Structure 1
Amino acid sequence: MDHSPKKITVGTVTRNTLSKQVVENITQLLISGQMKPGDKLPTEMELMEILNVSRPVLREALSSLESLGIITRKTREGTFFNNKVSSHPFSAMLALASDNLQAMIEARMALELGLITIAAEKICDEDLERLKQTIDVIESSKDNNYWGADIEFHRIIALSANNPVVEGLIDSLIVTLLKTNSIVKVRERQRTLEHHIAIYNALVKRDPFEAFHQMFLHLDYVRQKVLNTETSN
C-alpha cells in the first residue's frame, strides 16, 4: 500500500470548539473519499498548517480520534486511518457527534435495546454467570467505584447477541459508555443494582420483551441523569 502523503483539502478551523472541529475535518476526509482506510495522514506540522491550529489542539483531536478507533499513531511511521474503519462506520459518526451528548446517548439506546432482544434468545449459561459476577462486584464495591463492572455488564450482553454484522458496533457502544460514565459524578449503586438485576432476571427467563423493557428503564434513567448533570454544569 502506498503510504506517501496525499494532497488534501479541508476547511480551516475558526470556531471556539477547536479540537472538535479538527475531529470533524479529519473524519470528513474519509467520508468525502479524499482519503481511504489505511492511508497515511499528513504530519503534525502539515496538519497544523492546513487546519490553522496549535499543536495542543491538534493532539487533543488526534487522541479523540484514536480512542474512537478512527486512526492509529505509529512511532516513527506516522498517523494512519485504521484499515478496519470502513467496517466500523458508527465510530466515524460518533466522532462527528462527539459534542452532541444527547445524540450519543440516543445512539447507545438504539444499539443496546436492539442487542438485548437478540441476546435474550441467544445468551448462554456461561455468559449469564459472568453477568452475575459483575452484579456481585457492583454490590461489594467500595466508594461506588464500580464503573468497570458496569461497562462489562453491558459488553457481555452486547456480545451475547452473537451477530457478526453488528460486532463492529460494540466498540463504539463502549465509547458511549465511557463518555456517559465520565460525566456522571454521583453514582447510585443501589439503583444500578436494581436495574442490572432486573435485566439479568429477564435474560435468565430468555424473555426478549421483558429484557427490552428493563433495559429501556435503565437507559432512560441514565439518559435523564446524564443530561441533567450536563445542564447543571
Structure 2
Amino acid sequence: MEKYTVESITRNTLSQQVLDQIVKLLQSGQLKPGDRLPPELELMEKLGVSRPVIREALSSLETLEMITKRPRGGTFINKKIGKTPFMVMLALSMDNLPAIIEARMTLELGLVTLAAEKITEEDLKKLKETIDLISNSPDLNYGSHDREFHRIIALSAKNPVLEGMIDSLLITHEKTDSLINYREPEITVEHHTAIYEALMKRDPYESYKQMYKHLNFVRKKILENHPSKD
C-alpha cells in the first residue's frame, strides 16, 4: 500500500474511519473502479487497526455494493462504482443516522409522487400482496415484505435517472429497519394501506402526505432509541 497516501486512524468509530479512508482513495483517484484492495494484513499495518475493524469496514463497503470479495482472489472495487456517486456519499455517512433517515425520506417522497402518476394495476396488485403478507405474518419478522412494498413504489416511478439511486434507497431502508427495536404490524399495515389507497387513486399529493406520515413515524421511532451522537 506504499503508493497510497492515507491518514493514521486514532479516533473513535474506527471502522467508519477505515471506510472513510478507502472512499477518499477513490475520490482522489489513488484507487479506481476495478482495482484490487491491499490484503487485510497490509491494511491493518498501514491504518493501525485490528482485523475485526478492517473486516467491519469491508463488510459495510460490501453492503453498499462498492466492493466484491472473490474467493481466493482478493477484494476488488466494483467497476460500476463510478456510475453511482450517491453510494460514495452514503458510505461516508453510514454512522450519521439522522442523515441516513433524511436521505431515505427525500428519495421516497419524490419517488412516491411519480409513482402516483405511473403505477400500473399489476404494481398495485403486488403492493396489496405485501400488505396482506405483513398483516398475516405469524411472527414479527416481516422486514422483507416491508422492503418489497417500498421497492415496488420506487420502481413504479419508472425514471431511468433515478433508478441508480434505488439500490441506495434499499440500503438506507435496511439500515434503518435493523435499528427498530420493536415491531408494530398494525401501524405498518395502516400506513401502507393509506399509501396504497392514495396511489390507487393516482393522487400524488395524498401519496406524498401518507408517505411522509409513515416515514416521519419511523424516524421518530428510531431516533427515540438511537439518539444522535452530535
TM (norm. structure 2) is 0.96
Moved over 4 A (4+): none
SS of 1:166's equivalent in the other structure is helix
Ranges in structure 2 where 5+ consecutive residues have no aligned partner: none
Report how far residue 65 of structure 1 moved.
Answer: 0.5
Say yes or no: does 1:107 pair with 2:116.
no
Q: CA RMSD in A?
A: 1.5
Q: Return the alpha-carbon distance in structure 1 between the equivalents of residues 186 and 41 of structure 2.
A: 50
Q: Partner letter of residue 113 of structure 1?
A: L
2:83 matched to which residue of 1? 87
Q: Return the alpha-carbon distance in structure 2 between the equivalents of residues 6 and 66 of structure 1.
A: 24
TM (norm. structure 1) is 0.94
Q: Return the alpha-carbon distance in structure 2 between the equivalents of residues 104 and 229 of structure 1.
A: 15
1:121 matched to which residue of 2? 117
Report how far residue 24 of structure 1 moved.
Answer: 0.8
1:165 matched to which residue of 2? 161
Alignment of 1:77-226 (within 5 A): 77-226=73-222
Q: Partner letter of residue 166 of structure 1?
A: L
Q: Return the alpha-carbon distance in structure 2 between the equivalents of residues 231 and 103 of structure 1.
A: 12
Q: Percent identity?
A: 61
Say yes or no: does 1:71 pair with 2:67.
yes
Q: Give the count of matched residue pairs.
A: 229
Deviations 1:74-104 (A, max 9, x none): 1122111111111111111111111100000
Report how far residue 143 of structure 1 moved.
Answer: 2.5
Ranges in structure 1 where 5+ consecutive residues have no aligned partner: none
Deviations 1:22-79 (A, max 9, x none): 1111111111222111111112122111111111110111011001111111112211
Q: Partner letter of residue 111 of structure 2?
A: L
Say yes or no: does 1:54 pair with 2:40.
no
SS of 2:75's equivalent in the other structure is strand
SS of 1:73's equivalent in the other structure is strand
SS of 2:227's equivalent in the other structure is helix
Report how far residue 213 of structure 1 moved.
Answer: 0.7
